Amino acid sequence: MRPLPASTVEIAMVPLSVLDLSPICAGGSAGQSFRNTLDLAQHAEAWGYRRFWLAEHHSLPGVGSAATAVLIGHVAGGTTTIRVGAGGIMLPNHAPLVIAEQFGTLASLFPGRIDLGVGRAPGSDQATARAMRRDPETAAAAFPRDVAELQSYFAPTTPGQTIVAVPGAGLDVPIWILGSSLFGAQLAAHMGLPYAFASHFAPDLLGQAFELYRESFQPSTVLARPYAMMGVNAIAAASDAEAHHLSTSLQQQFLNLRRGRPAPLPPPVDTLSVRCSDGERALLERTLACSAIGGPAIIRRALDGLIERYQPDEIMVTAQIFDHAARLRSFDLVAQCVASAAGSLHGS
């Protein structure tokens, strides 16, 4: 029996999931983005992805997933086996009871398939956060208490309990802590919860956060050992050149956001050399460092390099690609890379 290359073993052992922002493309509409999201979820289910997560953002013309729980219901209702969840709900924007009721409803409609990732960022600018009638500073400081309150609403009711989440009480809704700093890692470790790091746009502290989470983890009734997931921009195509061309939509979207001019997801361009400064390009490279962009061979090497370095238990793949058909092909190719490695592993 010929031993497999270490890279093939690594990539075959880590499950893949999808993070979708339900992108609204230039010239498109929210309705079309929702149809595309469901189509992607149905394909992802067939391709063997473990989860399909949607993220809460507000006042961004290129992101359609603001009403995250509603969109989760749309996706879960159009699929049958894939887990569907929030990656995440920005808890400072909401009363924990309301979120418990929303996800209790989802879990009642789709038993065993709903995940609830929560973060403490507002998912918007400060003015938008205040428009949601939340004080961003006060709400962020209350995040640990809000997570504990949220957990309590999913616990079985006790005699004399005054406030009950209906539906929600007694339901098994897994709660994840999301983060892009060391704070979330500490909280997830202390509470014994699974942890997801937003390395697809904030990779700087990924290594430190995973190390802190694993070293400080305290087993809980929901999780016996640490479970860490990382986000990766994975844009795959038949050739490296085509993949890099497709990735310019993500780069433009990021630059528009940094310049204070958020816009719908733009079509790809041939080059960004005349559209951003050297400083902006350096920022792009740093911010999007956790990325796998290229043909299948590059995707395999990039994913394996990230797996070897950070040892994630799961990878959440995201891809801001303008053309929906190209986006589907990208997720398909990424899944094929892992499937072929798994096939080689089992066939050895």
pLDDT of 119 over the 50 cut: yes
Say if pTM beats, i.e. exceeds, 0.75. yes
pLDDT-derived band at 10, boundaries 50, 70, 90: low
pLDDT digits (tens, 9 = 90+) for 170-220: 998 999 999 999 999 999 999 999 999 999 999 999 999 999 999 999 999
Question: Each residue of 48-91: pLDDT tens digit?
Answer: 999 999 999 999 999 999 999 999 999 999 999 999 999 999 99
pLDDT in tens, 278-329: 899 899 999 999 999 999 999 999 999 999 999 999 999 999 999 999 999 9
> By the 8 A CB rule, do 192 and 220 touch?
yes
Q: In this structure, which amino acid lies at residue 325?
A: A
The average pLDDT across 83-101 equals 95
Mean pLDDT over 113-137 rounds to 78
Residue 348 has what pLDDT? 46
Residue 336: partners with Cβ closer than 8 Å, 6 or more residues away = 296
pLDDT band of residue 2 (cuts 50, 70, 90) is: very low
CA max distance for the chain? 67
What average pLDDT does range 17-33 have in this prediction?
97
- Say how far apart CA 334 and CA 177 lie, in whole Å: 26
Query: What burial letters (b/e) apply to 323-341, b meaning 16+ CB within 10 Å?
Result: ebebbbbbbebbbbbbeeb
What is the distance between the alpha carbons of residues 56 and 119, in angstroms, rounded to a whole number? Answer: 10
What does the mean pLDDT of the chain come to? 91
Smallest CA-to-CA distance from 197 within 178, 182, 173 is with: 178
Cα–Cα nearest to 102, from 57, 70, 130, 61: 70
CATH (residue range 6-347) = 3.20.20.30
Question: What residue segments make up the domains of the chain, in order of their start?
Answer: 6-347
- Please give the Cα distance from 115 to 123 (Å, whole number): 19
Determine which of 27-31, 54-58, 162-166, 336-340 has the lowest per-residue pLDDT on average.
336-340
